[in-house]
Structure 1
Amino acid sequence: MPDKPIIAGITGISGKSSTLKILENIFRLNNPHLKDSFKIFSSSITEKPSLKNKINDAYRDGTKYFFLEISPRALSSPQIKSLNLNLLAVTNLSPEAAADPPGKINGLMSSFSKLLKEDSTALINADDTLALQMADVTHSQVITYALDYPNAMATAKKIQLKSKQSRFSVMLESDIDTLTGKIISPGSQDFTLPLPGRHNIYNALVAILISLACDISFESISEKLNRMPHFKRCLEAVYSNQFKIIDDGASNPGAIESVLKTISSYQFKKIILVFALSGNHSSSINALNGKVISHWAEKIPIEKIIITKSIHQVNKKARASLQEEKVFLEKCQNIKGRISVIPGLGDALQDSILSAREGDIILLLGEKGMEAGASLSQKILHSFSGTSG
């Protein structure tokens, strides 16, 4: 075991949790007998002052690798600054961060520049304008990755998107140093990911590069991804009969954009969107959510949009405020004739099911407020037909 833990963080607006899930599967499947050799820490842990003690305690018990979900705002926190990060991956910052004042963006860049030492590694999404700016402010080794940017050091090519999986090749265009000082030469590897959508290829690409940096081979990573199970609430088809119900945890503009873009390639007649408005976002994020949904409602046949506060699933403190609801709806003025607000999740789901016809898709979006959406939909369908689908 090395004389200090290996710590890799993942930051950005969206994609952090999914990337960590993919990474967890790669490491668990790589050596099931050493399942305690790594730990995943969500933002609920990384934002607490006890983080460093938790890492030190686990390291003494034999844990070698630590993978942390770090929100952009936490980059300047004392508990993150006290760590010697070996690697920090940036998933995306646009367009959400673009809505922030320049001073806040400058503060984010400053926090990032001070966080990584020269012997550490930064993984930067070169397709994201603001994320790419971070490559110019860090003194660490930089590895850029992309699906579109032609000059990135690691790219996903030959992309094939299907409803239940994605296929692509990862091309390493230059030498990459691992965290233990080894060198990975340029090359390529084919991957099959049991998750649909371009956004999940971005997430997988980060997980692949982190795994390579931790000395897991290209071939082994490819094998593990192929065996990985489909994730819950990740464009998950929870009902498929005359119509489909698809469930996803997207709750911020980037994630919603990615899901709607993926859904647009599916075969369907019309979409009924049920969105759980969350109270844990700023008004600016809720406004951007409304803007994204409004934009896509004019591009694809979204016939009906039902907004719910999931009043029986979330407590009053976590419930969306009237102001958050207002700024969301203000961005949907151009499609207000297709929008309704139904406070209860069960009532919102029942309305969507009664509105659906053969060939339609009911799309469930949102985080905590929509976590019960799939099971509630099944209960409603059972009450209507006597079957659970």
Structure 2
Amino acid sequence: MKEIEGGIVSPKGFYSTGVKAGIKKDSLDMAAIYSEVPASIAGTFTQNIVKAAPVVWDRKIVDDNLKSQLIIINSGIANAAVGTEGLKHCEETALEAEEIFNLDKNSVLLASTGLIGAKLPMDKIINGVSLLRKNLNNSSESANLTAEAILTTDTKKKEIAVELELDNKIVKIAGICKGSGMIHPDMCTMLAFITTDISIDDLLLKKCTKEIVDDTFNMISVDGDTSTNDTVLVMANGLAKNNKITKETEEYNKFKDALKYVFTYLAKKIAEDGEGATKLFEVKVKGASTVKQAKKIAKSVVTSNLTKAALFGNDANWGRIFCAMGYAGEHFDPLKVDLNFISTAGNIEIVKNGVAEKFNEEKAVEILSQKEVLALIDLKEGNCEATAWGCDLTYEYVRINGEYRS
């Protein structure tokens, strides 16, 4: 497997674009991803009880095992908490796409991100659908526009493409995502869209997507808020012409590993682009008795606001980490725990067998001041492990969210 250029349209048969529909003042705000043939679909969605209308709309398509050729995304307005008009606006958008793209409206996937409680300006959305159709193509420039059009408070685009060989055929996987604030998925605001030309059984695609989401996107946190709109959608159109994967064979595992690579890359990009963030915070828990134990403890630490604030201040305040471990809801023996901080500046042991080690404070500050910092926690109870990703908590995060509607 190797990374390649080309973005979301790298896999065979995919086209995309991003346009200015006027939802936002001066930015790209609508995007489309299109497959020239019907594609198998896998999706995971927010577990927040307050679900955005597009989440409800897409979930039915995924649960009904329908094929799809089109995803339409808007940024700026979430289409959430607007009553019955939310789904009505979804249907109006899908009906317009049905006519413009010559597709069944019930196979058109939709996604929204932005301000909760505001209604979509349907005149702009309808016009935007036509603009999307007119500008659709499979160039790298088009892929870049697509990745940009889905952003809100993000500071950078997040995209990746890879290729691997299966059955002497080249299979490609590409992905884009957005997410910077309201990030604490349970399936942030996070949206992720994956295209691949692999031929694979629908149920296997759904199975591996769910498993990988649990280990990647569901292991990131910026601020502990689970969005109303979280969505991960995977489209597989089969145009690589590999022998269709119908069982969990070696070829399936190769594809799953490549898909996990893509998901992990995108999840980390969301975490490091957290609103106001200055560094990526990775927490790895090893020596756990179960994967569940490792995941819950890692996620608890990476979500702790006190820990994140200490990280911003380059403060090796390990007590905050132990505190977050203790309320994670999983039993462990604190007297067995080791804790190290690791970055490109070095590796320093902070805690050994639950007791603070004497360490060089200046070296700790140097290690914690790097762009990527790992907290390595060893429970010394078993052989299971898990990793979570987040970021530091800064003054800038408060400013961004204090001014969000102004």
TM-score, L = length of structure 1:
0.28
Identify the structure with the greater helix proportion: 1
* Larger RCO, structure (CA 8 Å, separation 6 or more): 2
Identify the structure with the greater strand proportion: 2
